[in-house]
Amino acid sequence: MALLSLCALVMGGCDLGESDVISRSPDLGPPTSHPPSPDAPGLAPDAGVSDATDAPKTPTDSLLAGRDAVDAPQGRPEAGSLFDAPDVAPDADDAHPRRSDAEVEGEVGALCADPGFVFCEDFEEGAPGWMTAGENWSIMDDVSSTESNAVFGPNGNAASKAFFTEGRWQDMTVTVRVRVLSFGQPTSSNRAEVYARYQDSDHLFAASLRGDGKLGLRKNATGIGTAVAAAVAENEWHTLAIRVAGRDDDVSVEGYIDGRMVVTAVDIDTAQGGDSSALGTAGLGVYGGTMAVFDDLKVSSP
């Protein structure tokens, strides 16, 4: 794994119902725009809706740094923390204001060793700029590698998320390497996930590797598109990615496994769960007793 320089970060109708709720935070901070990365080839599945939702969890938040677990303080982020108000105030009737490309350009200033990416993280220097919701997450040694390598994952098999607090993008692709240690149960509610346009636990897009052997998409707590079989076994490294593009009632969402697009959907319901055009950050998560570790996260935009 190439050592990447740290670039500064940060769920209606479903079958099971998810609400691992974290109180909606103010905007996460200013974004960046850089040259796009190439689209990966793949096959689009048939249209439809299917996915799972889950039991409530009460999250806690913590900053992460170093290779040890960090205790998460109870409660919500306080004013003046990483969730300071954005530099552009929202209109009275718009909870998720959009900004022009000119406004977005150059605000995060992340430096990545790989060209075409606006944010990269290999976790070799800890996870500064990251926050958790739910279980504590830690930097740990990659036991699957014969060489020294740091990976990032939750300390326990409770539903939890980790997200980068210092970036905001609209059209974005998030790619990460993931190794599922255990799905826990062979069900759609047991999963390891990558997030795009993450605002909080109730406002996000997700691509999920699921315990039922499928790759699925979600907007907030609702499955979108048709989940597709993905040959992913426990204790194997795979590359998981999500691409989100578009505004208002025409948002395209794609899920990739190992560079191949296998599931896609179009979000046309901006009234359901909030404005899908809002800016958000990148994140990672586990649900339903799944344990996983993550490495080499990269964000491109557009």
Q: Domain limits of the chain?
A: 1-36+45-302
Is 60 exceeded by the pLDDT of residue 180? yes
CATH fit for domain 1-36+45-302, picks 2.60.40.10, 3.40.1160.10, 3.40.50.1820, 2.60.120.560: 2.60.120.560
Please give the residue that has the higher pLDDT: either 277 or 54. Answer: 277
**Tokens read off for 12:** 């209606």
Tell whether the model's pLDDT for residue 14 goes beyond 50. no
Report residue 278's pLDDT band, with 50, 70 and 90 as the boundaries. confident
Mean pLDDT of the chain: 73
| Residue (of 9, 198, 30) closest to 102 by Cα position | 30
Contact 131, 165 (CB under 8 A): yes
Q: How confident is the model at residue 275 (pLDDT cuts 50, 70, 90)?
A: low
Instruction: In whole angstroms, give the CA distance from residue 299 to residue 162.
Output: 15
Residue, of 37 and 286, whose pLDDT is higher: 286
pLDDT attached to residue 111: 54
- pLDDT range class, residue 113, cuts 50, 70, 90: confident
- Whole-structure pTM value: 0.66
Cβ atoms of residues 243 and 282 within 8 Å: no
211/36: higher pLDDT: 211
Q: Count the Cβ atoms, other than its own, within 10 Å of residue 66.
A: 12
Non-local CB neighbours of 176 within 8 Å, separated by 6+ positions: 194, 239, 240, 241, 284, 294, 295, 296, 297, 298
Tell me: the pLDDT tens digits for 231-256? 899 999 999 999 999 987 789 999 99
